[in-house]
Homo-oligomer: A and B are copies of this chain.
Amino acid sequence: MKNLISCLDLSKKEIKEVIDLALKIKKGDFIPDFSGKVLTLIFASPSLRTRLSFANGFQKFGGAVSVLDAANSWNFEFRENTKMDGTTQEHFQDMIRVVSRYSDVIGIRDASLATKDPVTKSESSWEETKKNDHLVKFAKHAEKPVINMESNVFHPCQALADSMTMLENTEKKEEEIKVALTWAPHPKPLPLATPHSQMLLPSRLGMKVNLVCPPGFELDPEILKEAKKNASGFEIHHEQNILKEMDFVIAKSWASLRYFGNWSEEKKYRNKFSDWTLNEKKIGKAKFMHCLPIRRNVVATDKLLDSKNSLIIDEAENRMWAQIALLEKVLGKMAK
């Protein structure tokens, strides 16, 4: 494993290895040693959990970390063969190459709902956004391993933490685990990277995967196809009553691809499903998960979030352990 950018190219074996190692490290049965290594984290969009789970986890085991918030100070160019006489100051690929000379491993977050033209600020369609995922496109310019800390299309670290949390909280084998990724209300249209990844990884692990969402919120077709291919069962439901049959319910809000780009129409449509707020009754005995940050009493009720069945804080903690395991894999391979 050199880079971790897309979730599409992660094999079941690789996922399992990272999660097994993460569980071992969490229990204290394996102690990584990152001393003398430097991890650089670059944020072109804001972050709290990702930043702290990476930085603290790597430092906990002796590594050194630098964090760069590119969001406010730097205007990157993402187009190729372009005369940069406008407002962009540095090409993303040059930045990545240079930073890789200063680092042993790099994490990059460049996540938004839609790719924006750096000059006109106009938004791309979903197809263009997906095709131009900056990390998928430019990580190859790095001379050191790159980890995707969330791009426009993928958020593999979140999905690794989620799968780890499920395996940590059940005695069942992967093929028997029933999990639903369920859409939830939100005042804003949110990016698709997280739900894509949260659906792809459990599928790849062979779980029984259910996508539960209002019509028009079905996620990217290619990613659906991939999930169907790998899961031991795959169903789409447009009503929430299936949720109480699950072992795990992962709630998440995301924008409707049907109205992608027409944000006022999308909002009108999205607002029709404000009764999709999760609560204790809807999910029954299933364990509840969410990637955080969460809008309390919009995505899910206080009561559910603070109930015994809520795994949200453990899930957030597992971001750190999964990423430590990943960094161990990536720097270990490198050392060979």
Contact = CB atoms under 8 A, between A and B. Distances in A.
20 contacts: A36-B60, A40-B52, A46-B74, A48-B95, A51-B68, A52-B66, A52-B68, A53-B102, A55-B66, A59-B66, A71-B73, A83-B296, A83-B298, A86-B187, A89-B295, A90-B294, A91-B294, A94-B292, A98-B313, A98-B316
A49 interface: yes
Contact of A98 (B74, B82, B317): B317
A103 B68 contact: no
Contact of A295 (B60, B64, B84, B98): B84
Given A56-B102, A84-B298, 10 more contacts: A46-B73, A48-B73, A48-B90, A49-B98, A52-B68, A59-B66, A77-B296, A89-B295, A98-B316, A102-B320
B81 A302 contact: yes
A24 interface: no
A285 interface: no
A258 interface: no
Contacts of A294: 90-91, 94
A145 interface: no
Most buried by B among A70, A86, A101, A187: A101
Interface residues on chain A, size class: 35 or more
A99 interface: yes
Contact of A296 (B36, B84, B297): B84
Interface of A: 36, 38, 40, 46-49, 51-53, 55-57, 59-60, 64-68, 70-74, 77, 81-86, 89-91, 94-95, 97-99, 101-103, 187, 292-298, 302, 312-313, 316-317, 320
A297 B91 CA distance: 11
A56 B52 contact: no
A256 B297 CA distance: 39
